């Protein structure tokens, strides 16, 4: 009779009470291996560090505006200006000038003019002899500054630039007095294989 007695049944699993050991054991199979993750992080750090250091090294130059001299143009509104600059090559490679321009902001507006070619200064100096005393080597395209070297030169610009037809400022009576009251002046220098130099006048 004891042999025919019903055997005790195993109770069904309770979904709300999963053993903690099973939860922790399962995570072991879902987390990625730690070694490949660490290697990937190291590679990313090296790449970002190279970009950061390389970007800083690419600049490699500094500059300052050392003088600004302007004259009224004859027979028309506007001025001619000689802007003297000092540039230092702080890099380990030669610095090559691509082009230069000067931006001014006045109460009449904001203008940018490209630096005149070196060959133009002699012609302007004949018409405006007062500019001759401010002459320095022209900062022109293809100017080369050796590593650790410096350049003291000038750019010749005019303001305002020739107006387009029907422009509102076509008859603007812009004078040296207006230029001298400028709000800001910035020399923009584009370089080959380096970040541009932006040199602001300190007043």
Across the chain, what does the average pLDDT equal?
81
- Whether 11 has a pLDDT exceeding 50, the answer reads yes
Q: What angle do CA 63, 153, 110 make, to 5 degrees?
A: 65
Greater model confidence, 116 or 160:
116
Strands 95-106, 184-191: pairing kind: antiparallel
Greater model confidence, 27 or 202:
202
Say how far apart CA 118 and CA 140 lie, in whole Å: 7
- pLDDT for the residue numbered 43: 78
At the topology level, CATH places domain 60-200 in Immunoglobulin-like (2.60.40)
- Measured CA to CA in angstroms, residue 13 lies from 6, 8, 9, 19, 27 at distances of 21, 15, 12, 11, 21
**This model's pTM is above 0.85:** no
Residue 135 binned pLDDT confidence (cut-offs 50, 70, 90): very high
Say how far apart CA 126 and CA 120 lie, in whole Å: 10
Domain range summary for the chain, segments of one domain joined by +: 20-58, 60-200
- Whether 15 has a pLDDT exceeding 60, the answer reads no
79 is written with which tokens? 């001025």
140 is written with which tokens? 């022109």
Adjacent-strand bridge partners of 119: none
- pLDDT for the residue numbered 156: 97
DSSP character for 114?
A: E
């Amino acid at each position: 009779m004891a042999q025919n007695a019903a055997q005790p049944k195993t109770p069904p699993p309770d979904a709300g009470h999963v053993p903690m050991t099973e939860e922790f054991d399962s995570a072991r199979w879902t987390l990625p291996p730690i070694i490949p993750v660490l290697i990937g992080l190291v590679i990313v750090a090296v790449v970002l560090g190279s970009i950061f250091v390389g970007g800083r090294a690419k600049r490699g130059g500094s500059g300052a505006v050392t003088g600004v001299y302007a004259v009224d143009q004859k027979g028309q509104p506007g001025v001619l200006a000689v802007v003297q600059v000092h540039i230092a090559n702080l890099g380990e490679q030669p610095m090559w000038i691509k082009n230069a321009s000067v931006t001014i902001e006045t109460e009449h507006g904001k203008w940018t003019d490209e630096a005149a070619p070196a060959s133009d200064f002699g012609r302007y100096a004949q018409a405006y002899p007062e500019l001759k005393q401010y002459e320095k080597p022209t900062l022109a395209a293809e100017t080369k500054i050796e590593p650790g070297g410096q350049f003291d030169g000038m750019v010749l610009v005019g303001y305002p630039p020739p107006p387009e037809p029907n422009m509102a400022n076509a008859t603007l009576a812009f004078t040296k007095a207006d230029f001298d009251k400028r709000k800001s002046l910035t020399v923009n220098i584009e370089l080959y294989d380096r970040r541009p130099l932006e040199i602001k006048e300190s007043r």
